[in-house]
Amino acid sequence: MALDSKVPEGPIKDKWTIYKDKINLVNPANKRNIDIIVVGTGLAGGSAAATLAELGYNVKAFAYQDSPRRAHSIAAQGGINAAKNYQGDGDSNYRLFYDTVKGGDYRSREANVHRLAEVSGNIIDQCVAQGVPFARDYGGLLDNRSFGGVLVSRTFYAKGQTGQQLLLGCYSAMNRQIARGKIEMFNRHEMLDVVKIDGKARGIIARNLITGEIERHSAHAVVIATGGYGNVYFLSTNAMGSNATAAWKIHKKGAFFANPCFTQIHPTCIPRSGDYQSKLTLMSESLRNDGRIWVPARIEDAKLIQQGKLKPTEIAEENRDYYLERRYPAFGNLVPRDVASRAAKERCDAGYGVNATGEAVYLDFASAFERYGKEQAKIHGIKNPSKEKIKELGQAIIEQKYGNLFQMYEKIIAENPYETPMMIYPATHYTMGGVWVDYNLMTTVEGLYCIGEANFSDHGANRLGASALMQGLADGYFVLPYTIGDYLSNDIRTGAIPTDTKEFDDAEKEVTDRINFFLNNKGTKSVDHFHKRLGKVMWDKVGMSRNEKDLKAAMAEIKAIREEFWKDVMVPGAANEMNVELEKAGRVADFLELGELFAKDALIRNESCGGHFREESVELDGEQKGEAKRNDKDFAFVSAWEYKGEPADAVLHKEQLEFKDIELKQRSYK
């Protein structure tokens, strides 16, 4: 099967407008006869469900939590980008488009990204109208801040809780439609398979997580909005329930899986403290606006720090290595996430890490306290302020800006970050890869759509800060509602889809067989045991830096863990009740397949790109010596994998990426 991205003709800036003018519409009276299933109610699924219902379709929405408001989007802290140019600093749709394509290391689809930039402004308008309390300046207008990798201030925010407020905005829009009866909400339901009839997606099989009942739901189209698969690493910044199941199940039914190896490792997370740890906590990247990152310059000092015999405040300025400022003078501590993450790992691998495990670097606010303190002393006319006074004044400013983050850090680590530098380390955060979709956001299965973090299209090999929220809402509020209408206009005479058909029988049987297998297996090891082992292989061999030998080994090891899992996993309890272990077992089974495909995808991509550093592909000389080397000649494509049974047998399809509007250039942050 040939991949067709269906990107419309015409100049990039007009593609979306021309497209919208030409598509088929569904008459409002007919929309009442059309059902749409939306799986996932985060920013992407929630906004899609609300808007499709508003348009008049009958929507059935599904989430595994007890409420749409708890979807993982709630955790996003930093903010959302939009090209509003309210600050008059030269922002434009083109500039947002350009920054996003460049930030993604030229591995995203131009037309999709341009459309994203075009609708970004509408998102802010929409959310404000819904009552999202974005930060305002004293004049009553919207405030902005800046994020890594860009030179304008285009990030809108609601304190450190932007994702929460945006999600509550779509949740309220959903509630309005639930009250009107246009959305039927299925909380605590997990989608376990998709049902295809005559090649088209026509329904899903879901498990009611309270009663264990297996349910059939039919529709004219199915939308997958189930978020990212970062938990394949076991430890990540994702919520505990975040999973790949829906995406993986549709992959097995014909949807291609694109760029699985593109994961983002976020540089500013709270480091791991022990083997019992269940997740990693992100500290917003906005901290890098004021914090300076360093490790000891002398290995002896690093050793003493690791043994707890020396304090960071006892290391003199000249014995500190501010390695980002040293290596990247132009961007310094504000280099993009991939660059900052790799640089931290490089120092820690070389033995300079600053906690007991040697896997942490310092994020130090001392000089920000001083800088702000001096400024405040001037503003308040304090003559000859003491060092302590300066620090106190400066700390008050930092507290205003990041107080909640400092508090969160202190709760977790039990150290006061105002007195001693924070410790941070990179962690798996966001997955740029996902289900392959065309310009319409349709997968390679007809009538099956995929939006938000679950798809692959907009971020390339690296995601800039504050752009995932933008993509989720753009897809759900403003893109999918158009593109899906074009498809559904052929379904106005179809009528309701029955669920008592062979296709539903078969899919349901597959699901129940698997559940029964788990419960009857009577193995000896818990689900988490296997998940942790998978995570370790993924982090050690398919993490930030990769090489051919390790990747091949990883594929074999993951396969072995998978085989052992099916032989020896133990799942207590029964099928017809709430059974948390059973839920986990299904998710981990899917991660064990996805993990291997992930490694296989990394193996074929013999270039350093975005967050992933391929040890065989390094700049050998010049200004960029030692930095990651991208290879556009051979790898300017999307890898889209077709399922063929074992992950190792998956077949590669390439979508060649064309850059007509942006010249492919080496990314330099020097």
Partner 1 sequence: MNLTLKIWRQKDAGSEGQMVDYKVTDISEHMSFLEMLDVLNEQLVNAGEQPVAFDHDCREGICGMCSLYINGEAHGPDRGITTCQLHMRMFKDGETITIEPFRASAFPVIKDLIVDRMAFERIQQAGGYISVNTSGNTQDANSLPISKHAADEAMDAAACIGCGACVATCKNSSAMLFVGAKVSQYALLPQGQIEAADRVKNMVAQMDLEGFGNCTNTGACEVECPKGISLDNIARMNRELMKANL
By CB under 6 A, name the binding residues for ligand FAD: 39-45, 62-65, 71-73, 75-80, 162-163, 190-191, 225-228, 237-238, 242-243, 245-246, 282, 429-430, 452-454, 465-469, 472
Q: How far is the CB of 271 from ligand FAD (least distance, A)?
A: 15
Angle at 31 between CA 28 and CA 35, to 5 degrees: 165
**DSSP string of 321-359, one letter each residue:** E-HHHHH-TTTGGGS-HHHHHHHHHHHHHTT---STTS-
Q: What's 609's DSSP letter?
A: B
CA distance 558 to 591: 10
CA distance 74 to 393: 33
Residues 293, 333 contacting (CB under 8 angstroms)? yes
Binding window for partner 1 (CB under 8 A); candidates: 67-75, 249-257, 380-388, 586-594? 67-75
> Looking only at residues 337 through 396 of this chain, which bind partner 1 when binding is defined by CB under 8 A?
none
Q: How far is the CB of 208 from partner 1 (least distance, A)?
A: 12
Three-state SS annotation for 439-492: CCCECCCECEEECHHHECCCCCCCCCCCCHHHHHHHHHHHHHHHHHHHHHHHHC
**499 is a site residue for partner 1 (CB under 8 A):** no
> Looking only at residues 210 through 229 of this chain, which bind partner 1 when binding is defined by CB under 8 A?
210
Active site residue 188: no
Q: Which listed option, partner 1, ligand FAD, none, makes contact with residue 240 (CB within 5 to 8 Å by class)?
A: partner 1
Q: How far is the CB of 659 from partner 1 (least distance, A)?
A: 28
Nearest to 109 by CA among 638, 528, 578: 638
Which listed residue (69, 320, 337, 342) is catalytic? 337
Nearest to partner 1 of 130, 545 (CB atom): 130
Tokens of 637: 């494509």
Q: Which residue is nearest to ligand FAD (CB)?
A: 42
Q: What's 285's DSSP letter?
A: G
Nearest to ligand FAD of 40, 296 (CB atom): 40
**666 is a site residue for partner 1 (CB under 8 A):** no
> Looking only at residues 596 through 625 of this chain, which bind partner 1 when binding is defined by CB under 8 A?
none
**Which residues lie across from 545 on neighbouring strands?**
613
Query: Contacting partner 1 (CB under 8 A), which of 5, 51, 245, 286?
Result: 51
**308 is a site residue for partner 1 (CB under 8 A):** no
**501 is a site residue for partner 1 (CB under 8 A):** no
352: CB partners within 8 A, 6+ apart: 295, 296, 299, 302, 321, 361
Q: What's 69's DSSP letter?
A: G
Q: How far is the CB of 368 from partner 1 (least distance, A)?
A: 23
CA distance 283 to 78: 9
Nearest to partner 1 of 425, 598 (CB atom): 425
Query: Contacting partner 1 (CB under 8 A), which of 7, 36, 75, 360?
Result: 75
Tokens of 13: 């800036």
Q: Which 3 state secondary structure label does DSSP give 281?
A: coil
Nearest to ligand FAD of 243, 639 (CB atom): 243
Interface characters, 451-490, with partner 1 (x: CB under 8 A): --------------------------xx------------
Query: Contacting partner 1 (CB under 8 A), which of 197, 310, 553, 578?
Result: 578
**521 is a site residue for partner 1 (CB under 8 A):** no
- Residues forming the active site: 337
